[in-house]
Structure 1
Amino acid sequence: MDTAPSIGRTPDDRLPDQPGADGPDARTVGPEAPADPPGAADPEHVRREVVSTAIRSQRSTRDIVLSLVVLLVPIALLIGFGRVFLGADTPTEIDPAPTVQLARAANVFPVSEATGLGDGWRTVSADFRRGDTGATLRIGYLSPDDDGLQLVQSNVPAEELIPAELTRAGQPQGTVEIAGRGWQRYTARAGELALVLLEPGRTVIVVGQAPEEDLRHLAASLT
């Protein structure tokens, strides 16, 4: 029996999905590199933007500093001019007479005045007030050395007045005689001394950051 001759296949006759077919074998080819996502930024462009932003920030800070300097320099000059030429730091001297008259008109306690203090002494404040437990007259002075002192006269009970004026740490330190009257020396706030005169219906306090001789001089001037 005759058999039909076999027809051979060449490599080109193999199907594309068989190994060795034309085109790459999917099992042997690596994954393709991912494409840049849409809208991806250029690194060089990003770097330029960062540098530009930093420069703008530095310029803004510098502009703010320069603006403040321009504003503050004239203010500093005005303050210096006021202190040097106009005496802006010098307390204003006042006349305490109207306040003393007001306290005397209230007729709640005897009112004394400082007289004959001498050159360089200045009256810088005066205040008279009524409270629930009494009335108080306060007059502030500057000594020739610019030390501050205050004269306090009040009918507020001494046990209430003294702690209020000298703090609760104020303690008596003995008695001194000034112009024929016995005053008690007291401690007061840090750096302060006080002289206290206790009388029926009135307490007088001389207190300040000043040498004791200045306190005694003010106390002796009261009439």
Structure 2
Amino acid sequence: MSSPEAKLQHYRTEFITSSLAADALKFGSFTLKSGRQSPYYFNSGMLNNGGLIATLASAYAALIAVEFPTLDVLFGPAYKGISLAATTAVALRTEYGRSVGFAYNRKEAKDHGEGGWHVGADIKGKKVLILDDVFTTGTAVRQAAQGIREGGGDIVGVVFALDREEIGTDGEGESAKATLEKDLQSKVKSVLTMKELIGWLEDAGRKDDVEQMKEYREKYGIKA
């Protein structure tokens, strides 16, 4: 059986090609939540059938197998993180024999029935790994992290599908990733980075997309 590292390389390529085919990864001109005009956009909501989400879940699982040997619960911030946490838990069990819980937050706390802020596995006293789709500034993850800590969980890290590798929105030179790692006191990893995506586009001969991506990286990308 191939190693998790080899599997990750394989699934990373599958992730790019399937995202392009499903129109989850687009090139053009897009206004981000940060207000920046980006030449590309990734929407994990378009990975909306079994085959597509299985590819991404397998990529997450391979990365987790490499970087996070110890964890108890996968936590997916609502709404897109819900399917990511559930399917990655299945992939970890199927491909690596690791059985972990999964949970997600409600947008609003429930005041009837079982009540509570989150749904799924218990997080109190557990090692929790947060999963999300795209990392730009980490706002949704910070909100989830606050709830996890208030619920007694121990955050061991964060995994994204795509790291845009941008500096923060407040003009600071430090990367948004470095700031998030400092804030959470845990490591932040991603299946794919902007640099790796540019490399794939170069190999595919997509010169116009590469030029626009490099211009954007020069303006907003991390410098180190």
TM-score scaled to structure 1, two decimals? 0.26
Indicate the structure (1 or 2) with the bigger Cα radius of gyration. 1
Report the structure, 1 or 2, having the larger helix content: 2
Higher RCO, Cα 8 Å, sep 6+: 2
Give the TM-score normalised by the residue count of structure 2.
Answer: 0.26
